[in-house]
Chain A
Amino acid sequence: MTSGLLFAIVGVLLFTMGGAGVLLLDHLLRRILAFNLMGSGAFLVLVGLAQRHDVADPVPQAMVLTGIVVAVAATALALALARRLHALTGRMELPEADDD
């Protein structure tokens, strides 16, 4: 097993941990963090898989660099929305749907 493949496998684990967190956690801050974990896992899979034969490929690396910056912007927007919700309702959880 090459180190690239190991990175990809860790990325899969991070992705599923984040996915389970998004589904299970109610607190919005934790949910945003879990979503970020999903994103980091996806980046790790992309970069790891591309160099699983131990030769780095610049194209996925550049794509991941773009993705990281977009993820930062999306996180900031999500945090602003969560803060707005907290200012308006005083809660950090989304309201439960009635037909749940």
Chain B
Amino acid sequence: MKRLVVIAAALAFSLALIATLLELPAATIDLRPAVAENLAASGVAHPVTAVLLNYRGYDTLLEIAVLLLALFGILALGLERQVCTLRAAERPLQLLARLASPLMVVVAVYLLWAGAWRPGGAFQAGAVLAAAAVLLHLTELLPGWLQPSARLRWGLAGGFLLFLGVATAMLARGALLEYPPAHAGALILLIEAGLTFSLGLILAGLFLFMTCDEGGD
């Protein structure tokens, strides 16, 4: 009964929404000209990176804070230390992982650098770094993480703190996160490098803190 009601309601909802989409009038606000006009002053040549790191820097700052908060939540829940024996990874697999992971680091750096003028940027680069860490863990070359050490804590929070530091430093000249056009490119690259490093650690931590550690304490 409940199933039928929910399915009927979902169908009706999607039909109504699609009917609305088909007759939607043109948007009254068009932000594309505003983005294109200010692109020269933003420090980067790719509009999405300009929106992320310059025009809407607030969102990105809060986003990395949310990521950090999710990781804190996971750590606060307590990690149950169940020892489970993963099947020993095979030699060729380990060899491939060893070959792939340095390449993935290079790809991450390239994505970070390319973000200035084409699709790419800190989040994509961080995701590739985290994927490299997960790959190394799944092939048993990198053990799961126990409690975060002091160094790891600084690494996890470093990107956010760097971003916050740059944002506050801009207060002295006017507004939060308002970069001077002459240095905007360098500042964005600095922030993105910090974000990439921390994001890679945070995203890897979301996996590596939760995974069961083989023969752990």
Contacts and interface: CB of A to CB of B under 8 A. Distances in A.
A94 interface: no
Nearest to B205: A76
Contacts of B203: 72
Nearest to B13: A16
A74 B21 CA distance: 29
Of B35, B48, B77, which is in contact with the most chain A CB atoms at under 10 Å from its CB?
A: B48
Contact of A16 (B14, B52, B59, B206): B14
A53 B25 CA distance: 11
Interface stretch (B67-75, B139-147, B164-172): B67-75
B197 interface: no
Contact of A58 (B3, B32, B66): B32
A98 B113 CA distance: 56
Given A57-B32, A58-B35, A8 B21 contact: yes
Contacts of A27: none
Contacts of B48: 58, 61-62, 65
Contact of B210 (A17, A69, A83): A83
Contacts of A23: 6
How extensive is the interface on chain A, given as a class?
35 or more
B63 A66 contact: yes
A73 B21 contact: no
Of B2, B47, B82, which is in contact with the most chain A CB atoms at under 10 Å from its CB?
A: B47
A87 B80 contact: yes
16 contacts: A9-B18, A12-B21, A17-B10, A20-B6, A23-B6, A58-B47, A59-B31, A59-B51, A62-B48, A62-B51, A69-B199, A74-B70, A76-B70, A76-B206, A77-B74, A79-B210
Interface of A: 5, 8-9, 12-13, 15-17, 19-20, 23-24, 49, 52-53, 55, 57-59, 61-63, 65-66, 69-70, 72-74, 76-77, 79-81, 83-84, 87
Interface of B: 2-3, 6-7, 10-11, 13-14, 17-18, 21-22, 24, 26, 30-32, 35, 47-48, 50-52, 55-56, 59-60, 63, 66-67, 69-71, 73-74, 77-78, 80, 82, 123, 199, 203, 206-207, 210
